[in-house]
Structure 1
């Protein structure tokens, strides 16, 4: 081979949306400021290969570093329309200009194009129709609203 292989492509997997509880502040710690964002039950998942709902009793454990970057680490699950349960650990970064991030923190409406919000979800799916989720890398783009979140997930081909 004389050059790099063709760049990987992206296959759209699903859009998800859900309601969030108010943040629970842990406060200042040695590496920044920590808080927990509980995810309410009843969110949706809609896509060409999977549809269902987001299960509750889950949360995003966030660290905002001294440089203003928020590190997300969410653990939650999808209950697919056929009843299959799929665990997700979604880790990533959210950042933008300080004035934009302040508007987000205050719960104002902010266009997602004004900030960077990307994650890398990892799935643990049961053997069967969703086993393909165990064998791929995924990326996600997100949008944060005052009391909700929206996520778009692609499989790297």
Structure 2
């Protein structure tokens, strides 16, 4: 028996600013990079606030550079002062040419990049408990100076 697909509720959009990558290098697991998160904004129908500086996106680059496994961890400060811890894992797949452009900080056509994420949100205040009690998915777009994300609550 197949169950109906879950509905999605748009929660927010994030514009995350980043610093230049820290190249860790080739490890037995693959190419490792760390992208410092320097700030950003959160706007949307359910969440509004800022991305606090101090987070980072830890990347594992595979398949000659065409596949990136991302693990970003950062804190959002909501407009009411509450804080939310975010751990966002993602998969970004692109052609070799586009992957090299991304790694070199050059723009790419976002329509040519598969970038999907599974953010996990941990709330600190009771009014935001639903964030910890829900599943989320999202879409992403990488630009030379930042990352744009849209988060959706799975209903």
TM alignment of 1:1-157, pairs within 5 A: 3-41=1-39, 43-66=40-63, 68-157=66-155
Instruction: Describe the SS at the equivalent of 1:129.
Output: helix
More strand by share: 2
CA 1:121/1:144 → structure 2, altered by over 3 Å: closer, same or farther?
Answer: same
CA-to-aligned-CA distance 1:85-138 (integer Å, 9 cap, x gap): 000000111111111212222222212111111110001102422111111110
Aligned residues: CA RMSD: 1.1
Give the deviation of 1:66 after TM superposition.
3.4
Separation in structure 2 between the aligned mates of residue 37 and residue 148 of structure 1, nearest angstrom: 10
Q: Which runs of 5+ in 2 are unaligned?
A: none
Aligned residues of 2:106 and 2:143 also touching (Cα < 8 A): yes
In the comparison of the two structures, how many residue pairs are matched? Answer: 154
Q: Which runs of 5+ in 1 are unaligned?
A: none
Misfit runs of 4+, over 6 Å: none
| Structure-1-length-normalised TM-score | 0.94
